[in-house]
């Protein structure tokens, strides 16, 4: 049998299909302005026996496709443990939200923190700031790592931070140093969440921001823990949902 998991996020939709525990399909598309239409297109040529949805759009998917759902927290816990069985701490920073999850030895969620009400500290914040500095998102973290000094960014509100960045550029400040300051401001939020749930052993870093080398470096330096990034960090939730579909 084939079991599918779909993670409907604010920026992207991820799909994973398992057959006998092995990934046979893996796809990603932008959510767009109509996520359900995008989900339908994504599934149009996919064969599966059961599907389970997670992410912020899971309830709408449940109504549109008569599917079961699983919370993001559980989906990420299950997906992370499937990839790294010994993991006890998970950090996910996506396009519009972030979460930190603590697991026990059996992989059960014992505590979590989540920020889903503000773009600050998320991938969207970094994307906007990168554009303000004239970088694409792939350049942003690499250029920040080249900075020799750090410029403190006082505001974490996206609107005010963008204004602050524009002002700093106008004053002739080094773009790389501004970029590093922005990364540090995001890292501080993530570190605060992780410390509130308690840090255990290595940390699995999921979500699109996990691809950012500067964020990985700052987290490792601040927490003194190894940062493990899956080969496809945005697929962790969809993988967990697919596994849960097989267990349902």
CATH class of 1-84+232-248: alpha beta
Q: Is 187 helix (H, G, I), strand (E, B) or coil?
A: helix
**pLDDT of 86 over the 80 cut:** yes
Residues of the chain with CATH 3.30.420.40: 1-84+232-248, 86-229
What is the tens place of the pLDDT at every residue in 165-193? 999 999 999 999 999 999 999 999 999 99
Average pLDDT over residues 24-49: 95
Q: Is 5 helix (H, G, I), strand (E, B) or coil?
A: strand
**How far, in Å, CA of 188 to CA of 219, rounded?**
9
Mean pLDDT of 131-160: 91
Best CA proximity match to 245, nearest among 88, 16, 90: 16
What is the per-residue pLDDT across 193-238, written as a single tens digit (0 to 9) for each?
Answer: 999 998 888 999 999 999 999 999 999 999 999 999 999 999 999 9
- pLDDT of amino acid 116: 65
| Half-sphere exposure in the Cβ direction for 96 (13 Å, CA) | 12
Residue holding tokens 């970094």?
126
Q: What is the pLDDT of residue 100?
A: 96
Query: Average of pLDDT values for 137-157?
Result: 91
3-state secondary structure of 199: coil
Q: Which fold has domain 86-229?
A: Nucleotidyltransferase; domain 5 (3.30.420)
pLDDT band at 159 (very low <50, low <70, confident <90, very high): confident
Strands 98-103 and 109-115: what pairing?
antiparallel
Residues 64-80 pLDDT 10s: 999 999 999 999 999 99
CA pair distance 114, 35, nearest whole angstrom: 22
Dist CA 36 CA 40 (whole Å): 6
CA 203 vs CA 7, 84, 119, 186: distances in Å = 21, 10, 23, 17
- Cα dihedral value 240, 244, 246, 248, nearest 10: -170
Percent of the chain topping pLDDT 70: 98
In tens, the pLDDT along 100-144 reads: 999 999 999 999 999 866 667 788 899 999 999 999 999 999 999
The answer to whether the CB of 215 falls within 8 A of the CB of 223 is no
Does 6 have pLDDT greater than 90? Answer: yes
Paired residues of 98 in beta bridges: 93, 115
Cβ(19)–Cβ(66) under 8 Å?
Answer: no
- The predicted structure's pLDDT at residue 248: 84
Rounded CA separation 140/153 (Å) = 16
Measured from the Cβ of residue 178, the count of other Cβ atoms closer than 10 Å reads 23
| Token output for 99 | 């979460």
Question: Does residue 10 surpass a pLDDT of 90?
Answer: no
Rounded (10°) angle between helices 158-170 and 175-197: 150
DSSP reduced 3-state for 101: strand
């Amino acid at each position: 049998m084939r079991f599918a998991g779909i993670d409907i996020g604010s920026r992207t939709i991820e799909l994973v299909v398992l057959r006998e525990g092995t990934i046979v399909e893996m796809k990603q598309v932008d959510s767009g302005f109509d996520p359900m239409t995008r989900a339908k297109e994504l599934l149009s040529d996919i064969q599966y026996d059961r599907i389970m949805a997670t992410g912020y759009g899971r309830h709408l998917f449940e109504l549109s496709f008569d599917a079961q759902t699983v919370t993001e927290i559980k989906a990420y816990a299950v997906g992370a443990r499937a990839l790294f069985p010994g993991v006890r701490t998970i950090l996910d920073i996506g396009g519009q939200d972030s979460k930190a999850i603590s697991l026990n030895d059996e992989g059960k969620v014992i505590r979590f923190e989540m920020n889903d009400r503000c773009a600050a500290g998320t991938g969207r914040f970094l994307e906007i700031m990168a554009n303000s500095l004239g970088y694409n998102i792939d350049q942003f973290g690499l250029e920040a790592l080249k900075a020799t000094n750090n410029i403190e960014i006082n505001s974490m509100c996206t609107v005010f931070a963008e204004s602050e960045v524009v002002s700093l550029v106008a004053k002739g400040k080094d773009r790389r140093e501004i970029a590093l300051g922005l990364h540090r401001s995001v890292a501080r939020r993530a570190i605060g969440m992780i410390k509130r749930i308690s840090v255990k052993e290595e940390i699995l870093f999921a979500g699109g921001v996990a691809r950012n080398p500067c964020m990985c470096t700052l987290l490792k330096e601040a927490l003194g823990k190894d940062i493990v990034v899956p080969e496809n960090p945005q697929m962790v939730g969809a993988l967990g949902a697919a596994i849960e579909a097989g267990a349902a």
